[in-house]
Structure 1
């Protein structure tokens, strides 16, 4: 009888151990959390990030010449327009103090580029229907000498145009400031008052840090974001304009364009189309 009792106890202990081991083995299966989808850190960034211009810390101003970003809405023989002739460039307000009495606020207009021959962008409210009109783009060096001067054809409809410097123009020198004008006479006659915008541009070299960022990506959109963040206005805008022209129905590109212009308070131009315009040779 004793050996039968001993066998029974052994079998009972073995069965209990197996049950406990089985229960412990199954426990991770019953308590395991559902597998969560893998989320990368870069995906939301690509979907939500938009180009936003940040004013560079230096130079605080490009030249002592005050600029004009928007022309008059109606002047002399020019018809009234809802949105004035406008240069697509950043604008800073600066307080001008003369003899500690005159504290007038003046406009500092201009931006930076890394291009030897950059493209300048303007909103033109006037069209080819405006007879006897003449528009002219002028680029001068810091001594006031003309680097480039050319007549500009008005577009078929109001919109944004780009004016590129041709290969015949000497490339801009690094660290030198140039002054540009876009002038419009609505009628070619003596004494007529012109509408104009003006500002500065300075070519710079990229520092090593920014060069590394640009070389690390092949995505043009990411390059635009980098240019805008580093205060390199002309290259960010030109690159984005080229993408917008190539993708006229892309809502995301339109949002990028809107974001970049709004960051320099050009909300009133953000929805204007880019229209074809060629320089008169």
Structure 2
């Protein structure tokens, strides 16, 4: 399913800078034992009743792609916001080819304060769209502070219909979500220490309501299985990974992302920080309001 290169898959798992807190547990154990075939995500007890959100995405002014879902952020519900990572990965779905959507912009804000802003390419061998792609907050970005809530925005530069033609314009489609870092509790640390496989780790994240960690750990297992057919056949039931992903995203009681649950998973990209004066809090505050209201910044 994935068009991610084998080299990228290996690098993704072997680089500590891109890892979740329990990277070593997954790396050391996913060649052993029979994986946990049940790794659901459980929302927090106070999550409330979910309401359909459409994946917090839309086509904006972008050209319509027949038979494909609209652009979306894989968050959906307000409770899908917790992580233990100081630099998490934000997963989105892009229905366009690199020619139709060559680049994007990731912004991270806390209230009126700009935390990070960087551009990324979607014309990359690391993640060939269309499909689900992870936007990884890079090492150049400040670490998320535990207990603080952040807004994140992704703007995709896309092709727009101009008259009877389709051409590149300043049109963008904007996605958004919330993220909050939490400390690793004693209970979480204990559960992680007992995890024997990659899917065990995914299951632990799910039980502790850590949506970003759950999604990223499972996505990386799927990408690794796609990149390593021999490993996949010998040690891991690839269909179990895909079934777990599809089942949770399709859960109409908690997640409500069924529309995007069967789209291909293509990899991760890393933004490069903008070298400009766009970090002024006043400008960023106005841009944030524009994005939330669906206006072009």
**TM-score, length-scaled by structure 2:** 0.63
1:135 aligns with 2:107: no
Shift of 1:275: 1.3
Aligned to 1:37: none
* Runs of 4+, deviation exceeding 6 Å: none
Q: Is the 8 A contact 1:87 1:123 kept in 2?
A: yes
Number of residue-to-residue matches in the alignment? 211
Aligned to 1:167: 139
Shift of 1:174: 0.3
Q: Is the 8 A contact 2:150 2:179 kept in 1?
A: yes
Residues in 2 aligned to 1:237 and 1:129: alpha-carbon distance in whole angstroms: 27
Aligned to 2:213: 235
Q: Is the 8 A contact 2:94 2:133 kept in 1?
A: yes
Q: Is the 8 A contact 1:90 1:111 kept in 2?
A: no
Structure 1 residues 203 and 258, CA gap change in structure 2 (3 angstroms):
same
Superposition pairs of residues 165-204 of structure 1, within 5 angstroms: 165-187=137-159, 189=169, 192=171, 194-204=172-182
Q: 3-state SS of the aligned residue for 1:228?
A: helix
1:157 aligns with 2:129: yes
Aligned to 1:87: 73
**TM-score, length-scaled by structure 1:** 0.66
Shift of 1:88: 1.2
1:55 aligns with 2:25: no
Residues in 1 aligned to 2:197 and 2:35: alpha-carbon distance in whole angstroms: 13
Residues in 2 aligned to 1:175 and 1:150: alpha-carbon distance in whole angstroms: 27
Residues in 1 aligned to 2:214 and 2:116: alpha-carbon distance in whole angstroms: 23
Q: Is the 8 A contact 2:249 2:261 kept in 1?
A: yes
Structure 1 residues 161 and 252, CA gap change in structure 2 (3 angstroms):
same
Q: 3-state SS of the aligned residue for 1:252?
A: helix
Where do 5+ consecutive residues of structure 1 fail to align?
Answer: 1-45, 61-66, 92-107
